[in-house]
Copies of this chain bind each other. A is one copy, B any other.
Amino acid sequence: MPRYRAPVRDMKFLLHEVLKIVDLSGFEPFADLETDLIDAILEESAKFSENVLAPLNRVGDHEGCTRHEDGSVTTPTGFRDAYRTMVENGWLGLAKSREYGGQGMPGLLSIATLEMQFSANMAFAMYPGLTGSAATAISVGGSEAQKQTYLPKMVAGEWTGTMNLTEPHCGTDLGLLKTRAVPQADSSYKITGQKIFISAGEHDMSDNIIHLVLARVEGAPEGVKGISLFIVPKFKLDENENPGERNGVSCGSIEEKMGIHGNSTCVMNYDDAEGYLIGEENEGLKVMFVMMNEARIGVGLQGVSQSEIAYQNAVDYALDRLQGRSLTGPKNQDGPADPLIVHPDVRRMLMETRAFNEGARALLYWASMLEDLGHHSDDGKLVEKCDDYLGLLTPVIKGYLTDKAMLTTIDCQQVYGGHGYVEEWGMSQFVRDTRVAMIYEGANGIQALDLVGRKLARNGGRALMTLSAEIESFTNDNQANGDISDFVEAVKDARTSLTEATMWLMQNGMTNPDNAGAGSMDYMHMLGLATLAYMWGKMAVVAHQAIDDGTNEEFYANKLITGRYFVKRMLPMMDAHLARLKTGAEPVMALKASGF
């Protein structure tokens, strides 16, 4: 049975020492922010995730969700109770506005608690996670009345939320969607159509489910310009705004999936369901993309969260399992064999995962802080920078982090040998659950295209230029720091390779867009590696300073060791990606479609 221990020490390092979360107390909503309060919340969150959510992870995988003949869905044993505990403890509203009953804490704190929830039980944490995203969409695009009606219940967790985009014939290409919305005299709409792959689409955990549904109003323009966004509650609200009559939406079936069995992935049938427009007609995608961007960062977090729990269990196994002898002579002389951890190739898998997890966590938390700053600052230049960076980083966080998390969870499973392949040990579940993160909220190929085709070019390339200049300042500032010169040089090299790739794309993507398309995945991975290198550089500075200041906590020395693994063994991938990228469109486009 896998174990989970929230990496609270590492979270505190990032929040307090690297990102300096208490500095956010300069913004009015965070005026109460104090180190002790933050630490107390982290500790409570760790207990909740370790003790309530983690024990249900295997149960959820094993039982899955059950759809009954009447279309109702039962979640796995224990999910309902755990959800109730979560609601009672107020975890859903941690970073939501106080106006709607939230606690108004920074996203930078909330992301740590979300990481714990996803690590402990990804399928479970998707229910509140989607509610959070749906609430964001309403708060961004909804009318004041809609906000007052839905947000307090969703922030409290009494009602949950979903996102309804995909239809049988269209996922990525939303312009093809067919779900119809017919305006009614009372300003509501009748929604009819079928949506598939709807996570948390139907379940037994909340009193109501607020579906956010993309549909096409009769007579709307074709393609993406004619898509509107609607609120469709499972139960219509009565005069007291309590769940009343059942709406015309139901779960037609639930999918049998590779993983996240504990989350009900539904086919949702809308049959003249009553829906309420969010914002203006044909402007649905704008709001949906706000929600999508938040969700994409959440998916990157899911990947890293699975990599983290897979790592923890692989370490346990490697320390415990006796098999073979160290190449440099027995290390466990009195035992029948040495623990797996003595073997360099086992360590390679563990170090790779560890170095990725810690770097990725820094990137995620930094992005989360950028959101806080962008949201609350009135410094126009800073807000612009945050917005620029988030534009660049969102596809990297979704795409690169989940691609890499897939490989690290596989590595961690590999540490177990045959026991990793057997469901009993739980490592298979981490791999199967992680797999979806590369796919949903925009498959990773779409993330790469979004990065290269949209985010990179926006405002004349301002975002990347700003980030690149920031990284250059960092290396200049730390040039004299001899003890971590390997980190500084590595960040420099990564920036140089990234610049070369960017230049190549600019020069060759114009003449033939397929050049950009063919290199987009390599570029996304390069930006991922380069930003992780930057994160490692920043962490190395802090860790080194702590050592200089005489800390006797091994944490800091281990941080540098882990960072050096990243620098030496993971960064060399930059040049392989660069070489591939520069081969352009030809190798991938040359074969005729009929030749495949």
Contacts and interface: CB of A to CB of B under 8 A. Distances in A.
Contacts of A258: 421-423, 428, 431-432
A208 to B, nearest CB: 26
Interface in A174-193: 175-176
A554 interface: yes
A215 to B, nearest CB: 17
A170 interface: yes
A561 interface: yes
A323 B410 CA distance: 30
Interface stretch (A138-146, A150-158, A564-572): A564-572
A307 B433 CA distance: 21
B439 A431 contact: no
Given A166-B418, A439-B414, A514-B327, A176 B337 contact: yes
Nearest to A423: B256
B587 A565 contact: yes
A231 interface: no
A219 interface: no
Contact of A423 (B257, B342, B576): B257
Contacts of A575: 572, 575-576, 579
Contacts of A421: 257-259, 435-436, 439-440
Most buried by B among A413, A417, A432, A580: A417
Interface in A388-444: 406, 410, 413-414, 417-418, 420-424, 428, 431-432, 435-436, 438-440, 443-444
Interface stretch (A3-11, A285-293, A346-354, A361-369): A346-354
Contact of A587 (B171, B341, B564): B564
B583 A562 contact: no
A324 B572 contact: no
B346 A173 contact: no
A173 B422 contact: no
Interface in A321-375: 322-324, 327-328, 336-337, 339, 341-351, 354
B172 A323 contact: yes
Interface stretch (A21-29, A71-79, A516-524): A516-524
Interface residues of A, number: 98
A590 interface: yes
B176 A336 contact: yes
A595 B554 contact: yes
Each complex incorporates copies of this chain amounting to 2
B439 A347 contact: no
B319 A591 contact: no
Interface string A270-306: 0000000000000000000000000000000000000
Given A324-B172, A351-B591, A596 B514 contact: no
A588 interface: yes
B440 A414 contact: no
Given A256-B422, A319-B596, A344-B514, A417 B443 contact: yes
A513 interface: yes
Given A344-B520, A410-B406, A585-B344, A354 B596 contact: yes
A538 B583 CA distance: 23
B572 A521 contact: no
A448 interface: yes
A451 to B, nearest CB: 11
A590 B572 contact: no
A587 B554 contact: no
Nearest to A413: B435
Contacts of A2: none
A444 B414 contact: yes
